[in-house]
């Protein structure tokens, strides 16, 4: 992953719904819904794209 990932407060405490990059890994992301945090892994070889909010090829 060449792009630095900045942890947003929305992702940290799930104060807003959405999909956010996981600050610990470029191949993970966080989905916030109803104040709950759900952690996901991208499929092997894929990385979370912050512009499109999906996992894709790096």
Q: pLDDT tens digits for 30-46?
A: 999 999 999 999 999 99
| Domain-embedded: residue 56 | no
- Answer whether residue 54 is part of any domain: no
What is the extent of the structural domain holding 33? 9-49
Residue 41 forms part of a structural domain: yes
Please tell me the distance from the alpha carbon of residue 35 to that of residue 3, in angstroms, as a whole number: 27
Q: Is residue 2 part of a domain?
A: no
Distance CA 43, CA 57 (A): 10
CA atoms within 13 A on the CB side of 7: 9
Residue 55 lies in a domain: no
Please give the tally of structural domains in the chain.
1
CA-wise closest residue to 12 among 2, 27, 24: 24
8 compared with 49, residue with greater pLDDT: 49
39 occurs within a structural domain: yes
Report the length, in residues, of the chain: 58
Q: What's the whole-model pTM score?
A: 0.81
Could you give the percent of the chain with pLDDT greater than 90? 69
């Amino acid at each position: 992953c060449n792009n630095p990932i900045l942890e947003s407060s929305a992702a940290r405490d799930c104060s807003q719904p959405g999909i956010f990059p996981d600050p610990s890994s470029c191949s993970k992301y966080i989905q916030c819904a109803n104040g709950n945090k759900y952690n996901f892994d991208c499929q092997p070889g894929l990385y979370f794209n912050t512009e499109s909010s999906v996992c894709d090829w790096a």
